[in-house]
Structure 1
Amino acid sequence: MGDKGLNDLLRWSIENSATGPDGTTNAPPRSTLNQEALAAMMGGPSDADLMRESMAAITSPDPEISLESRLTAFDNFEQLIESLDNANLLSKLGLWTPLLECLAHDEAEMRLMAAWCVGTAVQNNEPSQERLVALGGIEKLVQMAVGKRLPAPSTSAEAINGDNKKDEEETKNVRRKALYALSSAVRNYQPAMDVCAAELRRQGHGENAGEEGKAIDATDMDAVDTVIGGLREKVTNA
């Protein structure tokens, strides 16, 4: 356990063993332990540890790790980041980059899970929305939603050999999950909505990007629904 965890435990122990104003020890606790400190006290891994371990399994180059095991790790990862605190740990732990790289994975199920996790992380979470914009994630989600396969990372063997699948179409299920993530990412966060509209026009889908030269209000849920609904219809009809 780090120094901060030890300090949290010490403070909690002192405050909760002190006598109350009436001389008894039944006074309500004056502080609570965070999950990480509590897990450390109990001898188990913290959520941060579990998040790191899950991502390590997801992205491991070990061919002995099956697709089923990687998908199970992704499912565990998604459940962990349903917590707002854990979602905000993604930046601190350096997990945003490998997560977004999974959007270009060879396996459709892995791409779907990556998009699902992105959507979970950014839902009603401005710091995560901000991070997604900064890392170019909005553009990736737009491209997936309109049916394009993302190119493999430039360091991969596929990209070196020129086989980066950039001309292949994305599957319907992955497109739907990318659209879910995009919907969560742009709501109530104007920078994400602006990037989304710009990328839609760049991809030739300006009819879904609102009136040219006029920003779509990210706080106007009807306006956002119009954008997302138009894209959803295209997925359905694909």
Structure 2
Amino acid sequence: MDRNLTNLLKWGIENSVPSSAPAANGTTAVTAHPSDSTATPSSTAATEPTTTTATAATAATTTGSNLNPELLSALFGGPSEAELMRAAMEVLTDPAATLDNKLIAFDNFEQLIESLDNANNLEPLALWTPLLSLLAHDEAEMRRMAAWCVGTAVQNNARSQERLLAMGGVPPLVSLATKEGEDDAVRRKAIYALSSAVRNYQPAMDAAVGELKKGGHDGHGKGDKVDAADMDAVDGVIGWLKEKVNGTA
């Protein structure tokens, strides 16, 4: 049996309410059927309104259920996390949406891709291209959030690191991180994204170092080859970029 269905069955059994149960005085309190007009409520529970779908969903989450959010959403009619990711990106790429609404959508999107599964879903959902395009948005806050989301997606995630590189995401991040006159907050998030992208992933590290050298930013003192598995060496490059933002490099 499917694991989710097994969990659902287990949750249903654990949280089911029997039609009759021993009352505190030892008698049996019977809950009247709604259609029985002659029945007299024997307890407060009998007069309470039927649990709504939303309340049931909340109860499932607050009773320590091990049902996953996607299953609960399917059961109670809510959108899946994949649908939420698509919806957020629609807002982010909608020219008519206000900046405030876009930033709310970005915040929700970033929280969703903190999940490794959701981060890996960026590829099948075709969301890498629109996300990377937002690195060039006119609004600094949008560029900052785009870089933040990239960093979240690739952190400790080899599959997403590979996709970022394949989609050409390293050059715009290097450009943002080193661009004179760029908002400092944007540059810091771009550096965070680069740090996440290159650690333990040599192809991305090689691409980043190549872009730095191409832009005349080879003063990190690590030469043309930096070992992506050597955290001290990686920290040296990332630290040098941070110093450039702070004006100390």
TM-score using structure 1 length: 0.76
Q: Partner of 2:190 in structure 1?
A: 178
Q: Which runs of 4+ in 1 moved over 2 A?
A: 7-18, 32-38
Q: Partner of 2:115 in structure 1?
A: 83
* Structure with bigger RCO (C-alpha 8 Å, 6+ apart): 1
* Cα drift, residue 41 of structure 1: 1.6
- Alpha-carbon distance in structure 2 between the residues aligned to 1:132 and 1:181: 10
- Alpha-carbon distance in structure 1 between the residues aligned to 2:220 and 2:135: 23
Aligned pair 1:233/2:239, yes or no? no
- Alpha-carbon distance in structure 2 between the residues aligned to 1:126 and 1:200: 22
Q: Partner of 2:137 in structure 1?
A: 105
- Alpha-carbon distance in structure 2 between the residues aligned to 1:70 and 1:218: 35
Q: Would the aligned equivalents of 1:8 and 1:33 in 2 still touch at CA under 8 Å?
A: no
- Alpha-carbon distance in structure 1 between the residues aligned to 2:156 and 2:211: 22
TM-score using structure 2 length: 0.73
Q: Partner of 2:94 in structure 1?
A: 60
Amino acid of the residue matched to residue 160 of structure 2?
Answer: S
Q: Would the aligned equivalents of 2:8 and 2:67 in 1 still touch at CA under 8 Å?
A: no
Give a deviation string over 1:37-77, Cα, whole Å, max 9, x none.
33212211110011001110111122xx2111100100000
Q: How many residues align?
A: 196
Q: Partner of 2:71 in structure 1?
A: 37
Match of 2:233 among 214, 218, 223: 223
- Alpha-carbon distance in structure 1 between the residues aligned to 2:203 and 2:175: 17
Amino acid of the residue matched to residue 113 of structure 2?
Answer: I
- Alpha-carbon distance in structure 1 between the residues aligned to 2:229 and 2:80: 36
Q: Could you say what the CA RMSD is over the residues aligned between the two structures, in angstroms?
A: 2.3
Give a deviation string over 1:160-213, Cα, whole Å, max 9, x none.
xxxxxxxxx32111111100111111001111101011111001011226224x
Q: Partner of 2:176 in structure 1?
A: 144
* Cα drift, residue 15 of structure 1: 8.8
Q: Partner of 2:44 in structure 1?
A: none
1:229–1:9 Cα change, 3 Å: closer
* Cα drift, residue 36 of structure 1: 2.5
- Alpha-carbon distance in structure 1 between the residues aligned to 2:216 and 2:229: 25
1:126–1:209 Cα change, 3 Å: farther
Amino acid of the residue matched to residue 146 of structure 2?
Answer: A
Q: Secondary structure, in 3 states, of the residue corresponding to 1:91?
A: coil
Match of 1:190 among 190, 198, 202: 202
- Greater Rg over alpha carbons, structure: 2
Identity percentage over the alignment? 59
